[in-house]
Amino acid sequence: PGSIVELGGLSEPGTVELNTDGHNLSLSFPNDVAKADVLLDGAFINTQAGRGGSIIINAQTVDILGGSTLFAGIATDHGSVDSQAGDIEINAMGKVNVSGSSFIFNTVFGTGNGGDIKINTTDTVTVSESSFIANLVSGIGDAGDVEINATDTVTVSESSFIANLVSGIGNAGDIEITTDSLEVTDGGSLLSSTSGEGNAGRVRITATDTVRFDGVGSNGISSGVSSIVSPEGVGNGGEIEIITGSLEVTNGAALNNSTGGEGNAGDVKITATDAVRFDGVGNNGGSGVFSAVTSEGVGDGGEIEITTGSLEVTNGASLNSSTLGKGNAGSVKIRATDTVRFDGVSNDRVPSGISSFVLLGAVGHGGEIEISTGSLEVTNGASLNSSTIGEGNAGSIKIRATDTVRFDGVGSNGGSSIASSSVLPGAVGDGGEIDITTDSLEVTNGAQLSTETFGEGNAGGVKITATDIVRFDGIGSNDLSSGVFSNVGTEAVGDGGEIEITTGSLEVTNGAQLSANTLGKGNAGGVKITATDIVRFDGVGSNRGSSGVFSRVLSEAVGDGGEIEITTGSLAITNGAVLSVSTFGEGNAGGVKITATDTVRFDGVGSNGRSSSAFSQVNEEAVGNGGSLDITTGSLEVTNGAQLSARTFGEGNAGGVKITAIDTVRFDGVGSNGASSGAFSSVEQEAIGNSGDLEIITGSLEVTNGAELGADTFGEGNAGSVRITAKDTVHFSGVGSNRVSSGAFSQVNQGAVGNGGDVEVTTGSLEVTNGAVLGAGTFGEGNAGGVKITAREKVSFDGVGSNGRSSSAFSSVEQGAVGNGGDIEITTGSLEVTNGAQLSSNTFGEGNAGDVRIIATDKVRFDGVGSDGFSSSAASQVNQGAVGDGGDIEITTGSLEVTNGAFLSSSTLGEGNAGDVRIIATDKVRFDGVGSDGFPTGVFSQVNQGAVGDGGMIQITAGSLLLTDAFISSISEGNGTAGDIKIDTRQNLETNRSSIQTTTLSGDGGDINLWVGYLLLLRDNSQIATTAGIAGAGGDGGDININAEFVVAVPREDSDISANAFNGRGGNITITVQGIFGLQFRVSLTPLSDITASSEFGLNGEFQLNLLSPVDVTQGLSELPADTVTSELNQSCQAGGSQSAGSFINTGRGGLPPDPTEPLGSSDLWEDVQLPKKASTDTTDLPTTTSGKLIEAQGWIVNQTGQIELVAQLPATTSQWGCSLR
């Protein structure tokens, strides 16, 4: 012991020299003579002592067999802190073989530093058959290194190992192997550990070609490399470093770096210029790299770092960094210039992949997973997983791929291919981020990216940046959707992470989903998408789940939902795909915000019957507000049953819907599920909260073929308003296949308590056609909203839909409702309501109907009857059983035409007053014609039979008024007075086969007041009449007051002015005129044109005619000459001329009757024929008189405005008939 043992020989003759260096002796072999082989079989060489004691072998080949042992070092109870053990050195030109349970040990059992073990060969080194090469410190001191240099191959197999161990006090030495290739198989192992007080040594492998670790030994130990701080150890683990061309770790082999004591685990660093492959499992677990802080460890886990051309981890192999003790898990970093591939699961259902864990009972953070490569594939159930189940944050996952990243499919264990970061139940800590940067990303066939928290801590976010495309597609064989998921789980306390995608284009198809949810106490994360080109969500998966984006506060959760935000060039949501923000628990739902520079399109229904949609929802039993939908784009299309929806079913306000589109917005059609395309905000049945507003700002808007815009309440809360602002046009048209009219609605539905919102349209021009509807109504307890239209150019309502419903704008209080109806207000250049279209304000319940107000700077036209038999109209009605007043109808315009059966009407069938009808037209008002249904055109104010209330007033102010086959009528058939009729025209009021009338069944008749600037003309059985008590009951006839220049009728056309009653007093008639022609006051009506004020059984009314002040009859006259015949007549038609003479008949005597109540008197004809005299032009002017004498009319002319004027002097004319003047 303590001596140097050096073995060697020559295979040929030569000289071996003995060298001396003090007490040290050594052999010197000639370089030009081959060495002999050395065989140790069952040999035992021990040089242990207090110091020194080397073993040196120089040979061609070295075989150490049969349990042979080489022992060097410092023996027990020997040495000191300055002692240095000798080395064991083997130098061979050929193979070195250590087998048959042979041992090479350099140990420190006493005190001092151990020596090295060095094997050098230009051939191979084999350590097999449970043989060991080890440096060991079990005393006090540092172990030496193990160095193997082999030009060819180093093999360690069959449960053999090369080790550097500390079980005492001191640091282990390094293990360093330099070779062309290294194979460690069948339980072979390279081991550096400390179980005492000291650091484990480093294991460094340099192999120019390959390094291969394979299998598990018969002793159950994996082939591989380990650097371990054992539970009793105090010190850091050593680093494992492999530098090679290619590395394979297969069939349960492992690289293991861990600390179970007090100290940090070492790192694992792999550099392979070509490829690294981890594959399969052994009977004790999977192949891979493992860095761990074990359950009793205090310290940080080591890093796993791989740099290579390509990496494959397959069939259950894994790279694992974890902590079970007090310390942080190490990170896993991969850099591969070409590809990284994780694929499949093992036979015992373990997925291939990378994992970083903070395990149960641990206190520390998980390590990061970082991958930098050209392309990455995670397939067939493989997994990248960073989780915490202890006290500490999970690590993040960062992927950088210059080309592609692909996650695909499901493993044989039913697990999805996945990248996940989780805070598991019982854990306290935050989940890590998933961050992917690549050119393109595909997540398909059930693969997932997931961050979640089930413990106490926030889930991490998912951030994806792809310059080209991101695609999520399909459902896995496990029935799970492909996608990205961020969840706060049941009983968790923490917020969900954000999902953020930045790319060129994004596709989410066939049931794939992006989802951020909370089921615990915490806010769900948001989803933010930025795509320079296009974003597309399409279709339904085989699990019947819709493709889409979801942010949800789920049942029993407490927290707010996250926002969904999409910024792109164009967005398409089709075939049942959805964007959904909702709350089922206690918290607000998030909003949906879309910004697309080009187009946004929602289209169709999925195979699951679900409409393509964006919706925000507060569900049943939820407490919280719904989020808003906000879309900003160039153009928007919502078609074939697609919908934008904000609803509340629980306790909270529904969100609003806001659309801003520079160009166009189009809603069209009905889906295969019977749902109308549209935008909706509603408070659903039993919900408590207000619905949001629906606001559209665009260039032009089309809502067609059954599409709808609606704000409703079915619960306890107000309905929102529908506000439309379109720079150019708004068009509502048609009926859907579900028989629903296109339109915009704000409604308080049956059982609801709350006010309805308004429908407001501001545009250049508005068209509502083919049964489309703008409506605001209440069926519940609350006021209906109004309809307000402002159009610079024109508004048109036209026709009837295929469902028999008129195109219309309406505000109604429906049966059983309690509340007031809203107003209909239209401000425009021109308004047309044609072919059965209607403007209506009604009450069927308990409340007042709203007003209809029209302001049109140019014209208003109502025309015709629709295919449903209903006339074009503006109407306000208190219906049967209703309690409330009817609304007013007010029209202010340049000109008004109501033709071919159209009408304006204010009526009551219930308990309440009918509203007024007021018309102001600066030019003309015309009512003309009978509709195809046989009903006349007109204006009506009516109290119907059984109603309790008064009729409304009809007031018309116009330049002129023309009635042809028309009625202006105020009627009370119930218990109430008829309304008054007031008409004021600057020019003429002409009636043809028309009536201006007020009529009551039993009450007082309304008054008729006419102020006519010039001529009141009654033709063809026209009537101006007030009639009271037509049922034989009481009631005074209304008064008739007429102010005009002239009142003219044709005597035999039976046009009448009458104020009559049955049992009551007849009404009074007062006419103030310049002249009245063709009418005569009579006691009762006759077939002639009459003026009557009578009562069948009561007192007659009074008739008073007020003639305007008389005019000087001499004004403008000249004194007649002495000649009795004018010179003009005398010259033109001289007696005795050669041609046949005509005659002149003068019938002018008696220009006025003696009394205004008497007919004009007749005069004898006067004829005066004299011989011609010389014409005289001498005249003498009479002096102007100031007396108020009346000038008799000598004729009439038509002035420049088309008015007929009676004149005292005829203008000069030229006869077309020569002397044949008569």
Helix (H, G, I), strand (E, B) or coil at 1052: helix
Residues whose CB falls within 8 Å of the CB of residue 943, separated by 6 or more in sequence, listed in order:
907, 908, 914, 949, 950, 951, 971, 972, 973, 974, 976, 978
From CA 16, how far away is CA 20, in angstroms rounded?
A: 13
- Overall residue count recorded for the chain in this entry: 1222
Q: Are 711 and 690 in contact (CB under 8 A)?
A: no
Which tops the pLDDT comparison, 1162 or 983? 983
φ and ψ of 100, to 5 deg: 70, 40
Strand partners, 624: none
Strand partners, 969: 940, 997
> For the segment 72-106, what is each residue's pLDDT rounded down to a tens digit?
988 888 878 888 888 999 999 999 999 999 999 99
Which tops the pLDDT comparison, 1141 or 968? 968
From CA 1129, how far away is CA 1127, in angstroms rounded?
A: 5
Residues whose CB falls within 8 Å of the CB of residue 1215, separated by 6 or more in sequence, listed in order:
1132, 1221
Which tops the pLDDT comparison, 863 or 1189? 863
Both tokens assigned to 692: 């949001």
Q: What is the pLDDT of residue 1210?
A: 42
Q: Are 1152 and 1192 in contact (CB under 8 A)?
A: yes
From CA 811, how far away is CA 808, in angstroms rounded?
A: 10
Which tops the pLDDT comparison, 1155 or 1099? 1099
Q: Is 498 exposed, middle or buried (0-12, 13-18, 19+ CB in 10 A)?
A: buried
Both tokens assigned to 363: 């206190």
pLDDT band for 1119, please (50, 70, 90 cuts). Answer: low
Helix (H, G, I), strand (E, B) or coil at 975: strand
Overall average pLDDT of the 689-698 stretch: 92
Amino acid 1086 reads: T
Question: For the chain, what percent of residues have pLDDT higher than 70?
Answer: 90
Overall average pLDDT of the 901-912 stretch: 89
What does DSSP assign to residue 1166? B
Q: Are 917 and 904 in contact (CB under 8 A)?
A: yes
Q: Are 925 and 956 in contact (CB under 8 A)?
A: yes
Of 214-218, 424-428, 980-984, which range is least confident? 424-428
Say which residue the tokens 């208003």 belong to.
860
Overall average pLDDT of the 896-903 stretch: 96
Helix (H, G, I), strand (E, B) or coil at 1127: helix
pLDDT band for 544, please (50, 70, 90 cuts). Answer: very high
What does DSSP assign to residue 1108? P
Say which residue the tokens 């295979």 belong to.
11
pLDDT band for 336, please (50, 70, 90 cuts). Answer: very high
Helix (H, G, I), strand (E, B) or coil at 1129: helix
Overall average pLDDT of the 640-662 stretch: 92
Say which residue the tokens 């140990």 belong to.
107
Residues whose CB falls within 8 Å of the CB of residue 995, separated by 6 or more in sequence, listed in order:
966, 967, 968, 969, 1022, 1023, 1024, 1025
Closest CA to 248 of 203, 315, 150, 191: 315
User: What is the number of other CB atoms lying within 10 angstroms of the CB of residue 672?
Assistant: 15
Q: What is the pLDDT of residue 1207?
A: 53
pLDDT band for 1222, please (50, 70, 90 cuts). Answer: very low
Overall average pLDDT of the 978-984 stretch: 92
Give the helix/strand (H/E) hosting 1132. Answer: helix 1127-1132
* pLDDT for 1195 beyond 90: no
Closest CA to 1208 of 1071, 1049, 1079, 1075: 1075
Overall average pLDDT of the 898-907 stretch: 94
Region for 836 from its dihedrals, namely left if φ exceeds 0, alpha if ψ lies in -120 to 50, beta otherwise:
left
Q: What is the pLDDT of residue 617?
A: 85
Of 368-372, 939-943, 1194-1198, which range is least confident? 1194-1198
From CA 574, how far away is CA 32, in angstroms rounded?
A: 84
Q: What is the pLDDT of residue 788?
A: 96
Region for 894 from its dihedrals, namely left if φ exceeds 0, alpha if ψ lies in -120 to 50, beta otherwise:
alpha
* pLDDT for 1065 beyond 60: yes
Q: Are 501 and 529 in contact (CB under 8 A)?
A: yes
Q: What residues does each domain of the chain span?
A: 1114-1135+1184-1222
Q: What's the chain's average pLDDT?
A: 87
Overall average pLDDT of the 557-566 stretch: 90
Overall average pLDDT of the 691-715 stretch: 93
Q: Are 653 and 682 in contact (CB under 8 A)?
A: no
Question: For the chain, what percent of residues have pLDDT higher than 90?
Answer: 56
Q: What is the pLDDT of residue 1109?
A: 67
> For the segment 452-477, what is each residue's pLDDT rounded down to a tens digit?
888 898 988 999 999 999 999 999 99
Which tops the pLDDT comparison, 736 or 1161? 736
Q: What share of the chain is helix, strand, coil (3-state, %, to 5)?
A: 0, 55, 45
* pLDDT for 1141 beyond 80: no
Give the helix/strand (H/E) hosting 730. Answer: strand 722-733
Region for 816 from its dihedrals, namely left if φ exceeds 0, alpha if ψ lies in -120 to 50, beta otherwise:
left
> For the segment 15-64, what is each residue's pLDDT rounded down to a tens digit?
888 888 776 777 888 888 888 999 999 999 998 876 668 899 999 999 99
Q: Are 46 and 105 in contact (CB under 8 A)?
A: no
Region for 673 from its dihedrals, namely left if φ exceeds 0, alpha if ψ lies in -120 to 50, beta otherwise:
alpha
CA distances from 1095 to 660, 978, 1035, 1082, 1087 (A): 66, 17, 10, 13, 18
Q: What is the pLDDT of residue 583?
A: 83
Closest CA to 419 of 403, 431, 409, 407: 407
Residues whose CB falls within 8 Å of the CB of residue 62, separated by 6 or more in sequence, listed in order:
37, 38, 39, 40, 90, 92, 95, 96, 97
> For the segment 823-867, what is each residue's pLDDT rounded down to a tens digit?
999 999 999 999 999 999 988 888 888 899 999 999 999 999 999
Of 417-426, 496-505, 1139-1148, which range is least confident? 1139-1148
Both tokens assigned to 854: 């029209």
Q: What is the pLDDT of residue 1129?
A: 41
Residues whose CB falls within 8 Å of the CB of residue 563, separated by 6 or more in sequence, listed in order:
526, 527, 528, 551, 581, 590, 591, 592, 593, 627
Q: What is the pLDDT of residue 23?
A: 67
Residues whose CB falls within 8 Å of the CB of residue 757, separated by 6 or more in sequence, listed in order:
691, 693, 711, 718, 719, 720, 721, 722, 746, 776, 785
* pLDDT for 1162 beyond 70: no
From CA 732, how far away is CA 752, in angstroms rounded?
A: 27
* pLDDT for 1112 beyond 60: no
